[in-house]
Amino acid sequence: MRIMLEVVNVTHKFGGLYALQDVSFKLKEKSIMGLIGPNGSGKTTLINVISGIYKPVAGKILLEGKDITGLKPNDICKMGILRTFQIPRLFLRQTVLDNVMYGALFGRKKPVSLSEAREDSLYFLNFVGLGHKKNLMASQINVYERKMVELAMALNALPRVLLLDELVAGANPQEMLFCMEIVKKIRDEFGITILWIEHVMKAIMNVAETIVVLNFGKKIAEGSPKEIARNKEVIEAYLGAEYKIG
């Protein structure tokens, strides 16, 4: 299976403080990789580097072997890398449907008509379970629903790589199970490659095929969920003794 996204020795800092130090990994096409670690470990900074918000001070990002390091976020978006945010960024004074339409209208490489954008938006809203709320203002829905709308917006841009930042945060148990199934369907039905930051271990351990662990900006482990759950350094730095196996 080919490599869709590669992070190569990425380093980034804010002033004199290193947020990422020599981080590397490869994300295979049509796979789901989890990205975990304590708060402040550099997870969101890495997503910001991949999506073009930050330019790393060293290292590079490759999309299917092409160096995209330092490109503008809108250019990276149109190349097929889309992301969601820890705190959803919606147009609160516009409808749920309008928000999702922006994904098609401004996120795709090729222009799309308003009618096609609307049709696709309704499809993706139904996909995330919110078709019945299409005419509500974005300000009228709760945080979990806003996350789902933002996910639908990202999907409407037809990504090849999807970067998810704490999709399950704030969800109740039923919503969490729905999110887990949605992430798997995104990979299985659309063939989208996924990098998923998550603190809810039940979700990430049951969905991701491989997991990368960051701590203080450094990669301290990479492997299957089972391998990560047995890793002593990961247990001490993040998971806690309740995850120790054997």
Phi/psi of residue 167, nearest 5 degrees? -60, -35
Residue 36 covered by a domain: yes
Residue 169 covered by a domain: yes
Same domain? For 153 and 89 the reply is yes
Given a cut of 70, whether residue 242 has pLDDT beyond it is no
Residue 192 or residue 170, greater confidence: 192
List, in order, residues 6 or more apart from 15 with CB less than 8 Å away.
none
pLDDT digits (tens, 9 = 90+) for 200-241: 999 999 999 999 999 999 999 999 999 999 999 998 888 775
Q: What one-character DSSP code corresponds to residue 199?
A: S
Same domain? For 169 and 246 the reply is yes
For the chain, the average pLDDT equals: 94
Residue 40 covered by a domain: yes
Q: Looking up tokens 């490489």, which residue turns up?
A: 109
CA distance 22 to 16: 16
Residue 208 covered by a domain: yes
Same domain? For 66 and 87 the reply is no
Residue 88 covered by a domain: yes
Percent of the chain residues past pLDDT 90, beyond the cut: 92
Same domain? For 85 and 52 the reply is no
Given a cut of 80, whether residue 243 has pLDDT beyond it is no
Residue 103 covered by a domain: yes
CATH number at residue 38: 3.40.50.300
Same domain? For 32 and 113 the reply is no
Same domain? For 153 and 230 the reply is no
pLDDT digits (tens, 9 = 90+) for 4-59: 999 999 999 999 899 999 999 999 999 999 999 999 999 999 999 999 999 999 99
Element (H, E) at 36: strand 32-36
Band of the pLDDT at 160, cuts 50, 70, 90?
Answer: very high
Mean per-residue pLDDT for 74-95? 96
Residue 11 covered by a domain: yes
Given a cut of 70, whether residue 245 has pLDDT beyond it is no
Same domain? For 197 and 228 the reply is yes
Among the candidates 110, 133, 158, a domain finishes at 158
Residue 182 covered by a domain: no
Domain range spanning residue 98? 81-158
Domains in the chain, number: 2
Same domain? For 131 and 170 the reply is no
**Would you state the pLDDT for residue 246?**
39
Tell me if 37 sits within 8 A of 25, measured CB to CB. no
Residue 242 or residue 57, greater confidence: 57
Same domain? For 58 and 169 the reply is yes
pTM of the model: 0.94
Mean per-residue pLDDT for 113-133? 97
- Using alpha carbons, select from 43, 56, 62, 53 the residue that is nearest to residue 219: 43
